[in-house]
Chains A and B, each alone.
Chain A
Amino acid sequence: MNAALRRALLALPTLFGVATLVFFFIHLIPGDPVDVMLGEAASAADRVRLRAALGLDRPLLEQYVGFLVHAAHGDLGRSLRDGTPVSALIRGRLPATLLLAAAAGSMALAVAIPLGAISARHRGRWLDSAATGFALLGASLPNFLLGPLLVLPFSVWLGWLPVSGADSAASLVLPAVTLGLGMSAILTRLVRAAVLDALSADYIRTARAKGLSEPAVFLRHALRSALLPVATILGLQLGSLFGGAIITETIFAWPGVGRLTLQAIDSRDYPLVQGCVLVIACGYVAANLLTDLAYQRLDPRVRFGRREAR
Protein backbone atom coordinates (compact mmCIF):
# COMPACT_ATOMS: atom_id res chain seq x y z
CA MET A 1 0.00 0.00 0.00
CA ASN A 2 2.87 2.22 0.82
CA ALA A 3 4.42 1.52 -2.54
CA ALA A 4 1.14 2.24 -4.31
CA LEU A 5 0.75 5.57 -2.59
CA ARG A 6 4.32 6.44 -3.35
CA ARG A 7 3.84 5.64 -7.01
CA ALA A 8 0.66 7.66 -7.15
CA LEU A 9 2.39 10.66 -5.60
CA LEU A 10 5.23 10.36 -8.05
CA ALA A 11 2.70 10.77 -10.81
CA LEU A 12 2.06 14.35 -9.72
CA PRO A 13 5.41 15.80 -10.81
CA THR A 14 4.92 13.98 -14.09
CA LEU A 15 1.57 15.62 -14.66
CA PHE A 16 3.02 18.95 -13.66
CA GLY A 17 5.76 18.46 -16.21
CA VAL A 18 3.26 17.57 -18.91
CA ALA A 19 1.11 20.59 -18.10
CA THR A 20 4.11 22.89 -18.32
CA LEU A 21 5.34 21.36 -21.54
CA VAL A 22 1.98 21.57 -23.29
CA PHE A 23 1.32 25.11 -22.11
CA PHE A 24 4.54 26.50 -23.45
CA PHE A 25 4.49 24.46 -26.61
CA ILE A 26 1.03 25.46 -27.67
CA HIS A 27 1.57 29.13 -26.83
CA LEU A 28 4.88 29.33 -28.60
CA ILE A 29 4.11 27.69 -31.90
CA PRO A 30 2.99 30.04 -34.67
CA GLY A 31 -0.73 30.61 -35.10
CA ASP A 32 -3.16 32.75 -33.19
CA PRO A 33 -6.58 31.54 -32.04
CA VAL A 34 -8.04 35.02 -32.34
CA ASP A 35 -7.10 35.08 -36.00
CA VAL A 36 -8.64 31.66 -36.49
CA MET A 37 -11.88 32.75 -34.87
CA LEU A 38 -12.26 36.16 -36.42
CA GLY A 39 -10.97 35.34 -39.86
CA GLU A 40 -9.34 37.94 -42.02
CA ALA A 41 -11.89 40.69 -42.19
CA ALA A 42 -11.94 41.74 -38.58
CA SER A 43 -10.59 45.08 -37.44
CA ALA A 44 -7.65 45.47 -35.14
CA ALA A 45 -9.93 46.79 -32.45
CA ASP A 46 -12.07 43.66 -32.61
CA ARG A 47 -9.01 41.49 -32.26
CA VAL A 48 -7.78 43.35 -29.25
CA ARG A 49 -11.21 43.13 -27.71
CA LEU A 50 -11.55 39.41 -28.28
CA ARG A 51 -8.09 38.77 -27.01
CA ALA A 52 -8.90 40.59 -23.82
CA ALA A 53 -12.23 38.83 -23.45
CA LEU A 54 -10.49 35.48 -23.71
CA GLY A 55 -7.80 36.47 -21.28
CA LEU A 56 -5.09 36.04 -23.87
CA ASP A 57 -3.57 39.45 -23.37
CA ARG A 58 -2.32 38.75 -19.89
CA PRO A 59 1.39 38.03 -19.42
CA LEU A 60 2.28 34.47 -20.34
CA LEU A 61 3.45 33.53 -16.87
CA GLU A 62 0.27 34.78 -15.34
CA GLN A 63 -1.77 32.67 -17.75
CA TYR A 64 0.46 29.71 -16.96
CA VAL A 65 -0.01 29.98 -13.24
CA GLY A 66 -3.73 30.49 -13.71
CA PHE A 67 -3.91 27.36 -15.80
CA LEU A 68 -2.03 25.29 -13.23
CA VAL A 69 -4.06 26.51 -10.32
CA HIS A 70 -7.35 25.84 -12.04
CA ALA A 71 -6.24 22.48 -13.33
CA ALA A 72 -5.29 21.43 -9.84
CA HIS A 73 -8.89 22.07 -8.86
CA GLY A 74 -10.17 20.12 -11.80
CA ASP A 75 -11.15 23.16 -13.83
CA LEU A 76 -9.71 22.84 -17.29
CA GLY A 77 -11.09 26.12 -18.50
CA ARG A 78 -13.37 26.86 -21.41
CA SER A 79 -12.93 26.30 -25.10
CA LEU A 80 -11.92 29.55 -26.80
CA ARG A 81 -14.33 28.93 -29.62
CA ASP A 82 -17.68 28.91 -27.91
CA GLY A 83 -17.01 28.80 -24.22
CA THR A 84 -18.02 25.19 -23.61
CA PRO A 85 -16.18 23.84 -20.59
CA VAL A 86 -13.23 21.79 -21.71
CA SER A 87 -13.95 19.05 -19.22
CA ALA A 88 -17.42 18.61 -20.69
CA LEU A 89 -16.01 18.35 -24.22
CA ILE A 90 -13.48 15.77 -23.16
CA ARG A 91 -15.97 13.86 -21.06
CA GLY A 92 -18.09 13.51 -24.15
CA ARG A 93 -15.26 11.78 -25.95
CA LEU A 94 -13.84 9.64 -23.21
CA PRO A 95 -16.29 6.74 -23.46
CA ALA A 96 -15.54 6.31 -27.15
CA THR A 97 -11.82 6.31 -26.52
CA LEU A 98 -12.04 3.88 -23.62
CA LEU A 99 -14.27 1.60 -25.63
CA LEU A 100 -11.90 1.58 -28.55
CA ALA A 101 -8.94 0.94 -26.25
CA ALA A 102 -10.63 -2.00 -24.57
CA ALA A 103 -11.73 -3.48 -27.87
CA ALA A 104 -8.32 -2.99 -29.45
CA GLY A 105 -6.65 -4.59 -26.45
CA SER A 106 -8.93 -7.60 -26.64
CA MET A 107 -8.27 -7.89 -30.33
CA ALA A 108 -4.54 -7.67 -29.78
CA LEU A 109 -4.67 -10.45 -27.22
CA ALA A 110 -6.89 -12.56 -29.40
CA VAL A 111 -4.25 -12.43 -32.09
CA ALA A 112 -1.09 -12.42 -30.01
CA ILE A 113 -1.77 -15.35 -27.72
CA PRO A 114 -2.46 -17.96 -30.35
CA LEU A 115 0.21 -16.67 -32.70
CA GLY A 116 2.80 -16.44 -29.98
CA ALA A 117 1.96 -19.88 -28.70
CA ILE A 118 2.21 -21.37 -32.17
CA SER A 119 5.52 -19.61 -32.64
CA ALA A 120 6.91 -20.97 -29.44
CA ARG A 121 5.57 -24.46 -29.96
CA HIS A 122 7.17 -24.76 -33.38
CA ARG A 123 10.23 -22.77 -32.58
CA GLY A 124 12.79 -22.52 -35.31
CA ARG A 125 10.57 -24.06 -37.93
CA TRP A 126 8.75 -22.31 -40.73
CA LEU A 127 5.53 -21.93 -38.77
CA ASP A 128 7.43 -19.86 -36.26
CA SER A 129 8.71 -17.50 -38.92
CA ALA A 130 5.34 -17.38 -40.62
CA ALA A 131 3.55 -16.44 -37.44
CA THR A 132 6.13 -13.79 -36.65
CA GLY A 133 5.90 -12.57 -40.21
CA PHE A 134 2.15 -12.18 -39.94
CA ALA A 135 2.46 -10.27 -36.71
CA LEU A 136 5.04 -7.99 -38.30
CA LEU A 137 2.75 -7.36 -41.23
CA GLY A 138 0.31 -5.79 -38.86
CA ALA A 139 3.17 -3.81 -37.38
CA SER A 140 4.71 -2.49 -40.54
CA LEU A 141 1.53 -1.40 -42.29
CA PRO A 142 0.51 2.02 -41.04
CA ASN A 143 -3.03 2.26 -39.71
CA PHE A 144 -4.08 4.64 -42.44
CA LEU A 145 -3.53 1.81 -44.92
CA LEU A 146 -4.64 -1.08 -42.81
CA GLY A 147 -7.96 0.59 -42.09
CA PRO A 148 -9.21 1.06 -45.65
CA LEU A 149 -7.75 -2.33 -46.60
CA LEU A 150 -10.04 -3.91 -44.03
CA VAL A 151 -13.01 -1.75 -44.93
CA LEU A 152 -13.03 -2.84 -48.54
CA PRO A 153 -13.75 -6.53 -48.03
CA PHE A 154 -15.67 -6.48 -44.78
CA SER A 155 -17.78 -3.45 -45.22
CA VAL A 156 -18.23 -2.85 -48.91
CA TRP A 157 -18.02 -6.27 -50.51
CA LEU A 158 -19.53 -8.36 -47.76
CA GLY A 159 -21.57 -5.61 -46.17
CA TRP A 160 -21.10 -7.06 -42.70
CA LEU A 161 -19.86 -3.94 -40.98
CA PRO A 162 -20.32 -0.20 -41.22
CA VAL A 163 -17.60 1.70 -42.96
CA SER A 164 -17.07 4.40 -40.37
CA GLY A 165 -18.67 6.36 -37.61
CA ALA A 166 -19.79 5.20 -34.21
CA ASP A 167 -23.47 4.56 -34.71
CA SER A 168 -23.62 0.99 -33.54
CA ALA A 169 -21.58 -1.59 -31.72
CA ALA A 170 -20.61 -3.04 -35.07
CA SER A 171 -18.84 0.21 -35.91
CA LEU A 172 -16.31 -0.68 -33.26
CA VAL A 173 -15.03 -3.78 -34.98
CA LEU A 174 -12.95 -2.39 -37.82
CA PRO A 175 -11.20 0.37 -35.86
CA ALA A 176 -10.50 -2.07 -33.05
CA VAL A 177 -9.06 -4.65 -35.42
CA THR A 178 -6.94 -2.02 -37.14
CA LEU A 179 -5.48 -0.77 -33.88
CA GLY A 180 -5.26 -4.21 -32.32
CA LEU A 181 -3.29 -5.74 -35.16
CA GLY A 182 -0.64 -3.09 -34.73
CA MET A 183 -0.40 -3.69 -31.01
CA SER A 184 -0.29 -7.43 -31.43
CA ALA A 185 3.14 -7.50 -33.03
CA ILE A 186 5.02 -6.81 -29.83
CA LEU A 187 2.67 -8.93 -27.82
CA THR A 188 3.12 -11.92 -30.10
CA ARG A 189 6.86 -11.78 -29.64
CA LEU A 190 6.44 -11.42 -25.92
CA VAL A 191 4.17 -14.43 -25.67
CA ARG A 192 6.64 -16.39 -27.70
CA ALA A 193 9.60 -15.34 -25.58
CA ALA A 194 7.83 -15.87 -22.31
CA VAL A 195 6.46 -19.25 -23.28
CA LEU A 196 9.86 -20.39 -24.45
CA ASP A 197 11.35 -19.21 -21.19
CA ALA A 198 8.73 -20.99 -19.19
CA LEU A 199 8.98 -24.21 -21.14
CA SER A 200 12.56 -24.65 -20.10
CA ALA A 201 12.04 -23.73 -16.49
CA ASP A 202 12.37 -26.12 -13.62
CA TYR A 203 8.80 -26.33 -12.58
CA ILE A 204 7.79 -27.35 -16.06
CA ARG A 205 10.15 -30.26 -15.96
CA THR A 206 8.65 -31.22 -12.68
CA ALA A 207 5.19 -31.13 -14.18
CA ARG A 208 6.29 -33.31 -17.05
CA ALA A 209 7.97 -35.69 -14.68
CA LYS A 210 4.74 -35.89 -12.76
CA GLY A 211 3.12 -37.22 -15.88
CA LEU A 212 1.09 -34.25 -17.08
CA SER A 213 0.34 -34.43 -20.78
CA GLU A 214 2.10 -32.09 -23.12
CA PRO A 215 -0.88 -29.88 -24.02
CA ALA A 216 -1.78 -29.50 -20.39
CA VAL A 217 1.75 -28.54 -19.51
CA PHE A 218 1.72 -26.06 -22.29
CA LEU A 219 -1.58 -24.48 -21.55
CA ARG A 220 -1.65 -24.50 -17.85
CA HIS A 221 1.84 -23.54 -16.97
CA ALA A 222 3.75 -22.08 -19.86
CA LEU A 223 0.99 -19.91 -21.18
CA ARG A 224 0.05 -18.66 -17.80
CA SER A 225 3.56 -17.43 -17.15
CA ALA A 226 3.38 -15.48 -20.37
CA LEU A 227 0.34 -13.61 -19.18
CA LEU A 228 2.22 -11.46 -16.75
CA PRO A 229 4.65 -9.70 -19.09
CA VAL A 230 1.95 -9.56 -21.74
CA ALA A 231 -0.48 -7.91 -19.38
CA THR A 232 2.22 -5.46 -18.40
CA ILE A 233 3.02 -4.40 -21.91
CA LEU A 234 -0.60 -4.39 -22.94
CA GLY A 235 -1.29 -2.06 -20.07
CA LEU A 236 1.39 0.33 -21.28
CA GLN A 237 0.14 0.16 -24.84
CA LEU A 238 -3.38 0.92 -23.75
CA GLY A 239 -2.09 3.86 -21.80
CA SER A 240 -0.63 5.29 -24.98
CA LEU A 241 -3.82 4.75 -26.90
CA PHE A 242 -5.51 7.81 -25.51
CA GLY A 243 -3.47 9.99 -27.75
CA GLY A 244 -2.05 7.31 -29.94
CA ALA A 245 -5.16 6.36 -31.86
CA ILE A 246 -5.40 9.66 -33.68
CA ILE A 247 -4.88 8.20 -37.13
CA THR A 248 -7.34 5.37 -36.65
CA GLU A 249 -9.88 7.77 -35.18
CA THR A 250 -9.52 10.04 -38.19
CA ILE A 251 -9.84 7.26 -40.75
CA PHE A 252 -12.91 5.77 -39.14
CA ALA A 253 -14.46 9.03 -37.95
CA TRP A 254 -14.33 7.59 -34.45
CA PRO A 255 -15.17 10.38 -31.97
CA GLY A 256 -12.34 9.91 -29.53
CA VAL A 257 -10.06 12.16 -27.52
CA GLY A 258 -7.21 11.87 -30.02
CA ARG A 259 -9.16 13.49 -32.80
CA LEU A 260 -10.43 16.18 -30.48
CA THR A 261 -6.82 17.02 -29.69
CA LEU A 262 -5.89 17.28 -33.33
CA GLN A 263 -8.78 19.62 -34.05
CA ALA A 264 -7.94 21.69 -31.04
CA ILE A 265 -4.40 22.06 -32.31
CA ASP A 266 -5.68 23.06 -35.73
CA SER A 267 -7.72 25.89 -34.32
CA ARG A 268 -5.14 26.74 -31.66
CA ASP A 269 -7.78 26.37 -28.99
CA TYR A 270 -5.33 26.62 -26.12
CA PRO A 271 -7.43 25.46 -23.18
CA LEU A 272 -8.80 22.54 -25.16
CA VAL A 273 -5.34 21.41 -26.25
CA GLN A 274 -4.04 21.74 -22.72
CA GLY A 275 -7.00 19.87 -21.30
CA CYS A 276 -6.79 17.06 -23.84
CA VAL A 277 -3.07 16.57 -23.35
CA LEU A 278 -3.49 16.51 -19.59
CA VAL A 279 -6.22 13.92 -19.84
CA ILE A 280 -4.14 11.85 -22.24
CA ALA A 281 -1.22 12.05 -19.86
CA CYS A 282 -3.44 11.07 -16.94
CA GLY A 283 -4.58 8.07 -18.89
CA TYR A 284 -1.00 7.07 -19.57
CA VAL A 285 0.06 7.60 -15.98
CA ALA A 286 -2.95 5.72 -14.63
CA ALA A 287 -2.33 2.80 -16.97
CA ASN A 288 1.31 2.71 -15.91
CA LEU A 289 0.40 2.81 -12.28
CA LEU A 290 -2.14 0.04 -12.53
CA THR A 291 0.21 -2.07 -14.58
CA ASP A 292 3.03 -1.66 -12.12
CA LEU A 293 0.81 -2.48 -9.21
CA ALA A 294 -0.60 -5.53 -10.94
CA TYR A 295 2.90 -6.63 -11.77
CA GLN A 296 4.04 -6.24 -8.20
CA ARG A 297 1.14 -8.18 -6.87
CA LEU A 298 1.24 -10.97 -9.38
CA ASP A 299 4.91 -11.68 -9.89
CA PRO A 300 6.11 -13.81 -7.01
CA ARG A 301 9.72 -13.09 -7.81
CA VAL A 302 9.26 -9.37 -7.70
CA ARG A 303 7.32 -9.49 -4.47
CA PHE A 304 10.21 -10.80 -2.65
CA GLY A 305 12.90 -8.47 -3.84
CA ARG A 306 13.05 -6.07 -6.71
CA ARG A 307 16.72 -6.19 -7.41
CA GLU A 308 17.07 -9.74 -8.59
CA ALA A 309 19.49 -9.49 -11.41
CA ARG A 310 18.28 -11.62 -14.26
Chain B
Amino acid sequence: MTASARLGAVLVGSFLAVALAAPLLAPFDPAQPSLSENLSPPSLAHPFGQDRLGRDILSRIVYGSRASLLVGISTVAVSLTLGTALGLFSGLAGGWIDEAMMRVIDVLLAFPGILLAIAISAVLGPSLANVVIALSVIGWTGYARLVRAETLSLRERAHVESAIALGAGPSRVVFYHVLPLLAGPLAVQATFGVAGAIVAEASLSFLGLGTQPPAPSWGAMLNEGRRFLLVAPHVALFPGLAVFATVLGINFLGDGLRDWLDVRMPVTGYGLPAIKKTSNE
Protein backbone atom coordinates (compact mmCIF):
# COMPACT_ATOMS: atom_id res chain seq x y z
CA MET B 1 0.00 0.00 0.00
CA THR B 2 1.40 3.36 -0.92
CA ALA B 3 1.48 6.19 1.55
CA SER B 4 -1.35 7.97 -0.19
CA ALA B 5 -3.54 4.87 -0.12
CA ARG B 6 -2.86 4.59 3.58
CA LEU B 7 -3.82 8.23 4.05
CA GLY B 8 -6.95 7.54 2.06
CA ALA B 9 -7.84 4.61 4.25
CA VAL B 10 -7.36 6.71 7.37
CA LEU B 11 -9.53 9.53 6.03
CA VAL B 12 -12.30 7.24 4.88
CA GLY B 13 -12.13 5.27 8.07
CA SER B 14 -12.48 8.47 10.09
CA PHE B 15 -15.42 9.55 7.94
CA LEU B 16 -17.20 6.26 8.55
CA ALA B 17 -16.41 6.31 12.24
CA VAL B 18 -17.69 9.86 12.64
CA ALA B 19 -20.86 9.06 10.76
CA LEU B 20 -21.60 5.97 12.75
CA ALA B 21 -20.71 7.41 16.14
CA ALA B 22 -22.23 10.85 15.57
CA PRO B 23 -24.38 11.01 18.69
CA LEU B 24 -21.35 10.19 20.81
CA LEU B 25 -19.06 12.68 19.15
CA ALA B 26 -21.20 15.77 18.72
CA PRO B 27 -20.85 18.11 21.70
CA PHE B 28 -24.14 19.91 21.04
CA ASP B 29 -27.55 19.22 19.55
CA PRO B 30 -27.06 20.08 15.89
CA ALA B 31 -30.56 21.48 15.57
CA GLN B 32 -30.53 23.69 18.63
CA PRO B 33 -30.37 27.32 17.61
CA SER B 34 -29.01 30.13 19.69
CA LEU B 35 -29.92 33.23 17.76
CA SER B 36 -27.99 35.70 19.83
CA GLU B 37 -24.74 33.90 19.08
CA ASN B 38 -25.25 33.63 15.35
CA LEU B 39 -22.17 33.60 13.14
CA SER B 40 -19.80 33.51 16.08
CA PRO B 41 -16.26 32.62 15.05
CA PRO B 42 -14.48 29.53 16.40
CA SER B 43 -14.00 29.53 20.15
CA LEU B 44 -13.14 27.10 22.91
CA ALA B 45 -16.73 26.07 23.43
CA HIS B 46 -17.39 25.89 19.69
CA PRO B 47 -14.18 24.90 17.93
CA PHE B 48 -15.68 25.33 14.47
CA GLY B 49 -17.77 28.34 15.35
CA GLN B 50 -21.51 28.81 15.03
CA ASP B 51 -23.75 29.16 12.00
CA ARG B 52 -26.46 31.59 11.00
CA LEU B 53 -28.82 30.38 13.70
CA GLY B 54 -26.12 29.98 16.32
CA ARG B 55 -25.98 26.20 15.98
CA ASP B 56 -22.68 24.50 16.70
CA ILE B 57 -20.89 23.83 13.41
CA LEU B 58 -18.77 20.99 14.71
CA SER B 59 -21.86 19.06 15.77
CA ARG B 60 -23.51 19.78 12.45
CA ILE B 61 -20.50 18.53 10.56
CA VAL B 62 -20.46 15.38 12.64
CA TYR B 63 -24.14 14.71 12.00
CA GLY B 64 -23.87 15.96 8.45
CA SER B 65 -21.49 13.14 7.68
CA ARG B 66 -24.45 10.83 8.03
CA ALA B 67 -26.34 12.61 5.29
CA SER B 68 -23.27 12.50 3.07
CA LEU B 69 -22.66 8.86 3.82
CA LEU B 70 -26.28 8.05 3.15
CA VAL B 71 -26.38 9.94 -0.13
CA GLY B 72 -23.07 8.54 -1.26
CA ILE B 73 -23.73 4.94 -0.48
CA SER B 74 -27.39 4.90 -1.48
CA THR B 75 -26.73 6.59 -4.79
CA VAL B 76 -23.95 4.17 -5.59
CA ALA B 77 -25.90 1.16 -4.42
CA VAL B 78 -28.90 2.02 -6.57
CA SER B 79 -26.82 3.11 -9.57
CA LEU B 80 -24.57 0.10 -9.33
CA THR B 81 -27.36 -2.43 -9.11
CA LEU B 82 -29.45 -0.86 -11.83
CA GLY B 83 -26.48 -0.16 -14.04
CA THR B 84 -24.97 -3.61 -13.71
CA ALA B 85 -28.26 -5.33 -14.38
CA LEU B 86 -29.05 -3.24 -17.43
CA GLY B 87 -25.49 -3.32 -18.70
CA LEU B 88 -25.31 -7.07 -18.46
CA PHE B 89 -28.64 -7.44 -20.15
CA SER B 90 -27.60 -5.11 -22.90
CA GLY B 91 -24.23 -6.69 -23.41
CA LEU B 92 -25.49 -10.24 -23.42
CA ALA B 93 -28.55 -9.60 -25.53
CA GLY B 94 -26.74 -7.60 -28.16
CA GLY B 95 -28.40 -6.51 -31.37
CA TRP B 96 -31.16 -3.97 -31.33
CA ILE B 97 -31.74 -4.28 -27.59
CA ASP B 98 -28.19 -3.16 -27.07
CA GLU B 99 -28.60 -0.27 -29.48
CA ALA B 100 -31.82 0.81 -27.80
CA MET B 101 -30.16 0.75 -24.41
CA MET B 102 -27.33 2.90 -25.69
CA ARG B 103 -29.85 5.42 -26.98
CA VAL B 104 -31.64 5.51 -23.65
CA ILE B 105 -28.33 6.20 -21.95
CA ASP B 106 -27.55 8.91 -24.47
CA VAL B 107 -30.90 10.57 -23.84
CA LEU B 108 -30.35 10.58 -20.11
CA LEU B 109 -26.89 12.03 -20.44
CA ALA B 110 -27.88 14.66 -22.96
CA PHE B 111 -30.68 15.88 -20.71
CA PRO B 112 -29.41 18.58 -18.36
CA GLY B 113 -29.13 16.99 -14.94
CA ILE B 114 -30.27 20.08 -13.10
CA LEU B 115 -33.62 20.11 -14.86
CA LEU B 116 -34.09 16.47 -14.01
CA ALA B 117 -33.39 17.16 -10.37
CA ILE B 118 -35.79 20.09 -10.30
CA ALA B 119 -38.49 18.08 -12.01
CA ILE B 120 -38.09 15.17 -9.65
CA SER B 121 -38.19 17.35 -6.58
CA ALA B 122 -41.17 19.27 -7.96
CA VAL B 123 -43.13 16.08 -8.44
CA LEU B 124 -41.92 14.09 -5.46
CA GLY B 125 -41.11 16.86 -3.05
CA PRO B 126 -37.70 17.79 -1.69
CA SER B 127 -35.89 15.30 0.49
CA LEU B 128 -32.64 13.42 0.74
CA ALA B 129 -34.26 10.31 -0.71
CA ASN B 130 -35.24 12.25 -3.77
CA VAL B 131 -31.70 13.54 -4.14
CA VAL B 132 -30.61 9.91 -4.28
CA ILE B 133 -33.25 9.22 -6.90
CA ALA B 134 -32.26 12.23 -8.98
CA LEU B 135 -28.57 11.32 -8.85
CA SER B 136 -29.20 7.66 -9.54
CA VAL B 137 -31.37 8.33 -12.56
CA ILE B 138 -28.27 9.65 -14.26
CA GLY B 139 -25.69 7.74 -12.26
CA TRP B 140 -26.56 4.25 -13.40
CA THR B 141 -25.43 5.04 -16.92
CA GLY B 142 -21.74 5.03 -16.02
CA TYR B 143 -21.90 1.56 -14.55
CA ALA B 144 -24.07 0.27 -17.35
CA ARG B 145 -21.61 1.38 -19.97
CA LEU B 146 -18.70 -0.13 -18.13
CA VAL B 147 -20.45 -3.43 -17.61
CA ARG B 148 -21.70 -3.54 -21.15
CA ALA B 149 -18.29 -2.89 -22.62
CA GLU B 150 -16.64 -5.51 -20.51
CA THR B 151 -19.44 -7.97 -21.17
CA LEU B 152 -19.13 -7.50 -24.89
CA SER B 153 -15.43 -8.11 -24.86
CA LEU B 154 -15.63 -10.95 -22.39
CA ARG B 155 -18.16 -12.76 -24.50
CA GLU B 156 -15.46 -13.44 -26.97
CA ARG B 157 -12.95 -14.71 -24.52
CA ALA B 158 -12.00 -18.29 -24.87
CA HIS B 159 -13.26 -19.70 -21.62
CA VAL B 160 -16.55 -17.99 -21.92
CA GLU B 161 -17.01 -19.26 -25.43
CA SER B 162 -16.22 -22.75 -24.38
CA ALA B 163 -18.59 -22.50 -21.45
CA ILE B 164 -21.36 -21.47 -23.80
CA ALA B 165 -20.36 -24.19 -26.21
CA LEU B 166 -20.65 -26.68 -23.35
CA GLY B 167 -24.24 -25.61 -22.92
CA ALA B 168 -24.01 -23.22 -19.98
CA GLY B 169 -27.13 -21.13 -19.64
CA PRO B 170 -26.93 -17.33 -19.59
CA SER B 171 -27.22 -16.98 -15.83
CA ARG B 172 -24.37 -19.35 -15.31
CA VAL B 173 -22.27 -17.45 -17.77
CA VAL B 174 -23.08 -14.26 -15.98
CA PHE B 175 -22.46 -15.33 -12.46
CA TYR B 176 -19.46 -17.54 -12.85
CA HIS B 177 -17.61 -15.88 -15.65
CA VAL B 178 -18.59 -12.33 -16.27
CA LEU B 179 -19.33 -10.89 -12.87
CA PRO B 180 -16.11 -11.94 -11.15
CA LEU B 181 -14.15 -10.18 -13.85
CA LEU B 182 -16.25 -7.09 -13.46
CA ALA B 183 -15.95 -6.91 -9.72
CA GLY B 184 -12.66 -5.09 -9.86
CA PRO B 185 -13.54 -2.20 -12.14
CA LEU B 186 -16.96 -1.90 -10.58
CA ALA B 187 -15.53 -1.63 -7.10
CA VAL B 188 -13.17 1.09 -8.18
CA GLN B 189 -15.89 2.93 -10.06
CA ALA B 190 -18.20 2.69 -7.07
CA THR B 191 -15.60 4.12 -4.77
CA PHE B 192 -15.20 7.20 -6.93
CA GLY B 193 -18.96 7.33 -7.34
CA VAL B 194 -19.43 7.90 -3.64
CA ALA B 195 -17.19 10.95 -3.81
CA GLY B 196 -19.10 12.24 -6.83
CA ALA B 197 -22.45 11.86 -5.11
CA ILE B 198 -21.26 13.74 -2.04
CA VAL B 199 -20.15 16.68 -4.14
CA ALA B 200 -23.26 16.59 -6.33
CA GLU B 201 -25.42 16.87 -3.22
CA ALA B 202 -23.79 20.22 -2.53
CA SER B 203 -24.65 21.46 -5.99
CA LEU B 204 -28.25 20.37 -5.66
CA SER B 205 -28.51 22.17 -2.37
CA PHE B 206 -27.67 25.33 -4.28
CA LEU B 207 -31.04 24.85 -5.92
CA GLY B 208 -32.59 24.21 -2.56
CA LEU B 209 -33.14 20.49 -3.09
CA GLY B 210 -31.95 18.01 -0.55
CA THR B 211 -32.11 17.70 3.18
CA GLN B 212 -34.87 19.63 4.79
CA PRO B 213 -34.30 21.68 7.89
CA PRO B 214 -33.12 21.15 10.49
CA ALA B 215 -31.26 18.05 9.31
CA PRO B 216 -27.67 19.06 8.55
CA SER B 217 -25.83 18.06 5.42
CA TRP B 218 -22.47 19.26 4.25
CA GLY B 219 -23.91 20.42 0.97
CA ALA B 220 -26.58 22.53 2.63
CA MET B 221 -23.99 23.95 5.02
CA LEU B 222 -21.76 24.92 2.12
CA ASN B 223 -24.66 26.56 0.40
CA GLU B 224 -25.60 28.45 3.50
CA GLY B 225 -22.00 29.46 4.10
CA ARG B 226 -21.49 31.04 0.73
CA ARG B 227 -23.66 33.99 1.73
CA PHE B 228 -21.36 34.78 4.63
CA LEU B 229 -18.01 34.41 2.91
CA LEU B 230 -17.30 38.06 3.55
CA VAL B 231 -18.22 38.22 7.22
CA ALA B 232 -18.02 34.67 8.53
CA PRO B 233 -15.93 32.45 6.26
CA HIS B 234 -15.78 29.75 8.90
CA VAL B 235 -19.35 28.74 8.10
CA ALA B 236 -18.31 27.50 4.68
CA LEU B 237 -14.71 26.67 5.48
CA PHE B 238 -15.28 23.71 7.77
CA PRO B 239 -17.88 21.87 5.70
CA GLY B 240 -15.65 22.56 2.70
CA LEU B 241 -12.71 20.98 4.46
CA ALA B 242 -14.87 18.05 5.48
CA VAL B 243 -15.97 17.45 1.91
CA PHE B 244 -12.45 17.91 0.61
CA ALA B 245 -10.93 15.52 3.13
CA THR B 246 -13.57 12.90 2.42
CA VAL B 247 -13.27 13.21 -1.35
CA LEU B 248 -9.50 13.14 -1.12
CA GLY B 249 -9.58 10.07 1.08
CA ILE B 250 -12.01 8.26 -1.18
CA ASN B 251 -9.93 9.03 -4.23
CA PHE B 252 -6.68 7.90 -2.69
CA LEU B 253 -8.36 4.78 -1.42
CA GLY B 254 -9.83 4.17 -4.83
CA ASP B 255 -6.44 4.54 -6.42
CA GLY B 256 -4.98 2.12 -3.95
CA LEU B 257 -7.80 -0.30 -4.56
CA ARG B 258 -7.24 -0.12 -8.27
CA ASP B 259 -3.54 -0.74 -7.91
CA TRP B 260 -4.12 -3.59 -5.53
CA LEU B 261 -6.72 -5.28 -7.70
CA ASP B 262 -4.53 -4.56 -10.68
CA VAL B 263 -7.48 -3.36 -12.63
CA ARG B 264 -7.12 -1.79 -16.01
CA MET B 265 -9.80 0.84 -16.26
CA PRO B 266 -10.92 1.48 -19.81
CA VAL B 267 -10.55 5.12 -20.49
CA THR B 268 -12.60 5.93 -23.52
CA GLY B 269 -15.75 7.64 -22.36
CA TYR B 270 -17.19 4.83 -20.30
CA GLY B 271 -15.93 3.39 -17.12
CA LEU B 272 -14.45 6.70 -16.11
CA PRO B 273 -13.58 7.40 -12.53
CA ALA B 274 -16.58 9.63 -11.89
CA ILE B 275 -15.06 12.18 -9.62
CA LYS B 276 -17.29 15.11 -10.21
CA LYS B 277 -19.78 17.17 -12.06
CA THR B 278 -19.84 16.58 -15.75
CA SER B 279 -23.56 16.85 -16.23
CA ASN B 280 -24.81 17.47 -12.68
CA GLU B 281 -22.99 20.66 -11.96
Nearest to B264 among chain A residues (CB) is A310
Main secondary structure, interface of B, reads: helix
Residues of chain A within 8 A of B3, CB atoms compared: 126, 129
What 1/0 flags go to A138-170 for Cβ under 8 Å of B? Answer: 011111110011001000000000000000000
| B153 is an interface residue with CB less than 8 A from chain A | yes
Nearest to B118 among chain A residues (CB) is A265
Residues of chain A within 8 A of B115, CB atoms compared: 22, 25, 243, 261, 265, 273, 277
Residues of chain A within 8 A of B4, CB atoms compared: 128-129, 132
Q: How far is the CB of B145 from chain A (nearest CB, A)?
A: 12
- CB within 8 Å for A281 and B110 given contacts A186-B275, A243-B115: yes
Task: Count A interface residues, CB 8 Å.
Answer: 70
What 1/0 flags go to A187-228 for Cβ under 8 Å of B? Answer: 001100110000000000000000000000000000000000
Residues of chain A within 8 A of B99, CB atoms compared: 10
- CB within 8 Å for A236 and B269 given contacts A142-B199, A145-B222, A145-B226: yes
A11 to B107 CA separation, bound complex (whole angstroms): 9
A302 to B153 CA separation, bound complex (whole angstroms): 14
Q: How far is the CB of B243 from chain A (nearest CB, A)?
A: 5
| B103 is an interface residue with CB less than 8 A from chain A | yes
The stretch that binds B, out of A46-54, A65-73, A244-252, is A244-252
Task: Count B interface residues, CB 8 Å.
Answer: 62
Q: How far is the CB of B113 from chain A (nearest CB, A)?
A: 7
Nearest to A11 among chain B residues (CB) is B106
| A18 is an interface residue with CB less than 8 A from chain B | yes
Q: How far is the CB of B219 from chain A (nearest CB, A)?
A: 8
A262 to B229 CA separation, bound complex (whole angstroms): 25
A236 to B222 CA separation, bound complex (whole angstroms): 28
| Besides the known contacts A142-B202, A244-B112, 5 further A-B residue pairs in the complex with CB atoms under 8 A apart | A17-B107, A18-B111, A140-B195, A140-B247, A247-B281
The 28 listed contacts between A and B (C-beta, < 8 Å) are A10-B99, A10-B103, A14-B106, A17-B106, A18-B107, A21-B111, A129-B4, A132-B251, A136-B247, A136-B275, A140-B243, A140-B244, A140-B246, A140-B276, A141-B240, A143-B203, A152-B229, A152-B230, A233-B269, A243-B112, A247-B206, A261-B112, A261-B115, A262-B114, A265-B118, A273-B115, A295-B268, A309-B153
